[in-house]
Chains A and B, each alone.
Chain A
Amino acid sequence: MTDASDDRVSRSRHERELQARAEAEALLEEKSRELYLANQKLAQHTATLEQVVLERTAEMRLALERAEAASTARSRFLATMSHEIRTPLGGLLGMIDLLSMDEQDPQKLELLNYAKSAGVGLSRIVNDVLDFSKMEAGVFLFEEENVDLRALIESIRIFVASQEHGADRKVITRIADNVPKLFLGDATRIRQIISNLVNNALRYSNDGPVIVRASARDHAGSLLLRVEVEDFGVGIAESEIGNLFKDFTQIANPLTAAAQGTGLGLAICKRIMNGVGGTISVDSTLGEGSTFWFELPVEVVTHPDAQGLDGSTTARALPPGGITGRRVLIAEDNLINQKLLLTYADRMGLKADLAENGRIALEKFAPGKYDVLLMDVAMPEMDGLEATRRIRDKWAAGQIPPILALTAHVMDAIEDEARQVGIHQIVSKPIPFEELKQAIETALSPETGQVPPHREAPSAKTAEHPAAATAQRIPDRPTLATLMSEEAHGKLFGIFGAEGLADLASKFVSDSNERIELLLAADAAGDTYEVSQQAHSLKGASITLGFDEMADWARQIEHQETQRHNASVAETARRFQARLRELQAVLPPA
């Protein structure tokens, strides 16, 4: 079996191999085809998947856009409502303040006091409800800034003492040494909570002191701040404590009648605490008193930056020599607020200059010319934030005095931007006299405020701005008095003074001229509704200023009674216009 034929493969073996090979090739072909089909299917799946992903992405984007739009709309609505409610409220409270300052008659003073406390109560409720709504809408934001707790509590103490219910009460503060001088937190909200607790303590107790304590201890690598507010008042039954921090609840007790409110205060405090990662609670014994406390983790600030001049610094170190004689530029477009602020400034002994909008404020501003700027946020042509930004762009920081923003908006909505453009402090409307004074004093105090270049050689530019001198000019315009009713003139002169009154009248003229134009255009177009609207406005303004005859003409137009007086709407309007010209003639040139 060793010859060559042994190496040859037998026929049957050869055929088996061929068959196996054919089979293997057939299998290979089949598998290739399967693979090809599988690949095709896979590609199809991929395409479908991509399509699905695209569709889902589009859906999600749309949903997101809708949610964002809804959120923006909510936010804007709240800001608008806040503005719309606070502005008239501020005017109301301001006017009451002004009336109280001049009123000698004790009976009237009492009435004014009632009006004032009702207004303050309303203002508190409005603020609570707005805060609460903001939380509901999820647009309540928390800030991180340097907080000086000692100064903050002290300012609350001073403020409470100035309030009616706190005037004869003792608020004692005990702040432990281990409470850091500065820490990071939301000063506004911390202030809101402490102030709320102190006010509650005063409202729910008749006598005894209110003790505010603060301490700190180490906690999970940072510091846990604890603030307690203790009173010796009515106390709270244990069964009631659970309801205390719920929305819209108030505990009925003999003092509740006096302690009006929305029942939102503590609910808001609790939400704020939740928002900043703290806890708030109360220890209380019925009939003996309560200790409300909150704890929140804080980060200690060891190197406060030089710019740490935000809302947290509330110490009231008075500027040397007070604020009398300091110069203030007031940028404000609303006529009522202009009068209010100018009169306030006058009472504070400030020398005030007015800019009707941000652009004018920007034009009027020059280094060394003013010690403080009051900047309304919402103004036509150029808003307060933009004006501030441009002032900051144009001049060096050392040349710019403190800038206070005045706003009736929800503060959170503009706080960030205000800070960015370099607003020194935001004062929320309605602005009571004391609060504004305090804010200006704080801004001008050398400890907390930027020290303005105090009466250094005024730049040449000052001379180019005659407006700066108008504050000293006291025009004598008896003719204006003759045009006004005696009664109105007497009243308004008392409040605004001659110059203020002339200014008011001048505003009236320009505003009315615009309205007359609109009225005439509407009349020509046959839009009786618009005619009546404009006439209504003209009537109101005329009555306020004691232009009785003009008020009557406006009334005739409003009620479509001009025919009875043998005149058309247009004729009556022209008569009104002519009177405005007369009035303009007796006013000092703008």
Chain B
Amino acid sequence: MKGVIFVELIKMAEATFGEKTVDSVLETADLANGGAYTRVGNYPCAELVKIVMAFSAHSGISADALQTKFGHWMMQVFVTHYPEFFVDKPDAFALLESVDQEIHVEVRKLYPDAELPRFDTRRPASNHLEMLYSSPRPLDPFCHGMIEACLEHFGAPGQITRTAHPRLENTTTFDITLTR
């Protein structure tokens, strides 16, 4: 998993809990490299889960809620650092559809060895998007947070329901219905 995720996660933790807390939590989290991450590095996903668990234990906030919060944070990072992803996207659905079709294509050019999740989308109705998230990593709440943040970014309130796929392993369905 790209180092940028780890760096941003720690930044979020610092913003939320303060540097001292982050220092002490990281020291207790039993991390392979003592919590030192660089944006350009690659780190196992299990490390990310460990960090989230550590902050959850420290703060009493559930791991899922922390992941969702981090989803929001990352969406903001993308908006700030990769405005080109958003340039010609008229609405939230257009952006969500472009994740697999455009953004990940570009990511693969830069990092041929990146292990990217899949986002298959379908639009049963104009205000309804079905998104199938397939990844061996247990980051469903993180995705949920990102989708929420995306709707907020485009000013489009909606409902998001998350259900594990009945047959496919490691696959979660997000049903996104715009309410306005």
Binding site for B on A (CB under 8 A): 10, 12-13, 15-21, 23-24, 27-28
Contact = CB atoms under 8 A, between A and B. Distances in A.
Nearest to A25: B38
B46 to A, nearest CB: 18
B40 A28 contact: yes
B40 A12 contact: no
A15 B27 CA distance: 12
B41 A10 contact: no
Nearest to A17: B36
B106 interface: no
A16 B35 contact: yes
B27 A12 contact: yes
A20 B23 contact: no
A28 B40 CA distance: 9
Interface string B149-164: 0000000000000000
B63 to A, nearest CB: 23
A27 B38 contact: yes
21 contacts: A10-B19, A10-B20, A10-B23, A12-B23, A12-B26, A12-B27, A12-B34, A13-B19, A15-B36, A16-B34, A16-B36, A19-B36, A20-B38, A20-B41, A23-B36, A24-B38, A24-B39, A24-B40, A24-B41, A27-B40, A28-B40
A42 to B, nearest CB: 16
A15 to B, nearest CB: 7
Contacts of A19: 33-34, 36
A27 to B, nearest CB: 5
Interface string B16-34: 0001100100110000011
A530 B23 CA distance: 115
B86 interface: no
A24 B27 CA distance: 21
- Enumerate the 9 nearest inter-chain pairs by beta-carbon distance, A residue then B residue, closest first: A19-B36, A24-B38, A16-B36, A20-B36, A20-B38, A12-B23, A23-B38, A27-B40, A10-B23
Contacts of B33: 19, 23
Given A19-B34, A24-B39, 10 more contacts: A10-B20, A12-B23, A12-B26, A12-B27, A15-B34, A17-B36, A23-B33, A24-B40, A27-B40, A28-B40
B73 interface: no
Interface of B: 19-20, 23, 26-27, 33-41
A127 B23 CA distance: 104
Interface of B is mostly: loop
A23 to B, nearest CB: 5
Given A10-B20, A10-B23, A23 B41 contact: yes
B110 to A, nearest CB: 12
A20 B43 CA distance: 12
B135 to A, nearest CB: 24
A140 to B, nearest CB: 56
Nearest to A19: B36
A21 B39 CA distance: 10
A12 B20 CA distance: 10
Nearest to A31: B40
A27 B35 CA distance: 17
A28 B39 CA distance: 12
A10 B14 CA distance: 13
Contacts of A17: 36
Given A15-B34, A17-B36, A20-B36, A27 B41 contact: yes
Contacts of B26: 12, 16
A13 to B, nearest CB: 6
Residue from the set A10, A16, A19, A28 with the largest chain B CB neighbour count within 10 Å: A16
Contacts of A13: 19, 23
B113 to A, nearest CB: 12
Nearest to A27: B40
A86 B84 CA distance: 80
Contacts of A28: 40
Nearest to B6: A20
Nearest to B43: A23
Contacts of B39: 24
A13 B20 CA distance: 9
A329 B27 CA distance: 117
Nearest to A18: B36
Nearest to A13: B23
Nearest to B35: A16
B19 A20 contact: no
A320 B20 CA distance: 124
A156 B41 CA distance: 91
Contacts of A15: 34, 36
Contacts of A27: 38, 40-41
